[in-house]
Chains A and B, each alone.
Chain A
Amino acid sequence: MDRLEQLALGNTVIHRLHPMAKLLTTAFYVVIVISFPSQNVSGLVPFVLYPVVLMSLSQTPGRPLLGRLAVALPFSLAGGISNLLLVREAAFHVGNVAVSQGAVSCASILLKTLLSVLAVLLLIATTSFVEIGGQLARLHMPKIFCLQLIMTYRYISVLLEEAVAMYTAYALRANGQRGIGMRDMGSFLGQLLLRSFDRAERVYQAMKCRGFQGVYLGRIRAGLSGKDALYTGALMGAMLMLRFFNLSLFLGSLVG
């Protein structure tokens, strides 16, 4: 996540947009993409444009995004493959080859996952996590959850460092054993949990010393500017139109 956080410090036209505009359009995009019926892959195709254009305008390199996508895809691939095996009725034919409804559904699941995860990753790569948390709170998400989100995100790296330090100490005295033995796993995880509690307590003390009283929403921003509102409205309008008007089929019919 470090790399994405670094990217979020950029200063492109997308980075400069109001975080609320980016949050709303991303949420709307994800909802629209997921709402497509499983057999309507062609309708989804124009939605590929959104992440592509966003990546280009925000100068976000593909590599860090693709690496993270690879983590999410296997889960939907498992769901897609079960459709492929269980739903064998033909959806259409390409020449003499029948393409099953399961294959179409599998492609749809994979495409939806790819587009949704990519959109969220692009949001993180163009907006600081504190800003996202603050905007979620302004959308009336419980403030405690928003704060937990910000803190957890920051402390994933601290927890990992703690776990690595403990593992190094373990490995140095484990006589060449690879990994953590099952009989030691309980106490290892228990120690990690106790250390996490201690750390959480000290962090809370530090927060209280700097005036924290249970709510923190980050930077107080003005509302959406005309430019932000135009971006949000235009994108949402276009997405809504593409949800109910199959552009791929329309273009295909023109060519046909």
Chain B
Amino acid sequence: MLRVSGLRVKYNAAEAACALDGLDFSIRAGERVALIGANGAGKSTLLLSLVGVLSAASGSVVLDGIELTKDTLTRLRKRIGMVLQNPDDQLFMPTVYEDIAFGPRNFGHGEAEIEARMDKVLRALGIFHLKHRMAHKLSGGEKRLVTLAGVLVMEPLLLLLDEPSSFLDPQARRRLIKILAELPQALLLTTHDLDMALDLCGRVLLLKEGKVHADGPAGEILYNAALLEDCGLELPLSLAHREKP
């Protein structure tokens, strides 16, 4: 469903160094993939490149048969939902209602359809009671779910989540994992929360210095202490004191 080929991204065209240096990978429909790596490895840069916020120096991104170009940007953004790391960056409208309606309105959906979609998503996430609340008055966990609702309401094929467990307490984190596990969409999430990656994702992409250093089943990569250490990471806490089954 998503095919990334030879993707290279530079922050500054004059610089020789690449933030992403020739990435190749693909994601199947409904697949859940964790994107891990040390700070500065290029995780967030990759997500922003997939939605065309950052332009690629070379390479291609193809989703659902549509290649990412200037002309196809709108069509692609309709199919990719991105949830940013800090919910305050994403909740820019005064109320939950207005914020969730922002995307569908931009894509030209009618008010009745928006309302129906919104109600469906809010009920599915168990936050219908927040519909008319002020966005900046919500708790961290509520804000996270509202940002997710703002993206799900556009019915994307692929969800990109940047550090979804940040700002969450343990219960809110557990609830989010449960919700994400039940979504039919393909997921690509960046995270330092390797336990979450282990719980939620069947596959892990390990980035190091802008390149895919390892790509494989979560059960293999997240148990490999040497590989993780080589990339500035550590074993997930839940695995640190037990043997690989």
Contact = CB atoms under 8 A, between A and B. Distances in A.
Q: Do A and B come from one complex?
A: yes
B98 A216 contact: no
Interface string B20-42: 00000000000000000000000
B98 to A, nearest CB: 5
Contacts of A211: 74, 77-78, 103, 106-107, 154
B86 A202 contact: yes
Contact of A2 (B105, B110, B134): B134
A212 B106 contact: yes
B172 to A, nearest CB: 20
B94 A153 contact: yes
A128 B133 CA distance: 12
A209 B154 CA distance: 11
Q: Secondary structure of the A side of the interface? A: helix
A210 B103 contact: yes
Contact of A5 (B81, B134, B150, B151): B134
Interface string B83-125: 0101011101111001001110111001100000000000000
B224 to A, nearest CB: 33
Contact of A209 (B77, B95, B105, B137): B77
Given A5-B134, A128-B98, A212-B106, A206 B77 contact: no
Contacts, number: 89
A80 to B, nearest CB: 35
Contacts of A213: 74, 106
A210 B94 contact: no
B12 to A, nearest CB: 16
Contact of B95 (A128, A210, A220): A128
Given A9-B132, A209-B51, A210-B102, A203 B92 contact: yes
B16 interface: no
B102 A209 contact: no
Interface in B59-97: 74, 77-78, 80-82, 84, 86, 88-90, 92-95
B136 interface: yes
A153 B105 CA distance: 20
A188 B116 CA distance: 46
Contact of A219 (B106, B111, B132, B151): B111
A214 to B, nearest CB: 10
Interface stretch (A22-30, A154-162, A226-234, A245-253): A154-162
A56 interface: no
Given A154-B136, A202-B89, A207-B102, 9 more contacts: A6-B134, A9-B95, A128-B98, A205-B48, A206-B82, A206-B92, A208-B52, A219-B105, A220-B111
Interface of B: 48, 51-53, 74, 77-78, 80-82, 84, 86, 88-90, 92-95, 98, 101-103, 105-107, 110-111, 132, 134-137, 150-151, 154
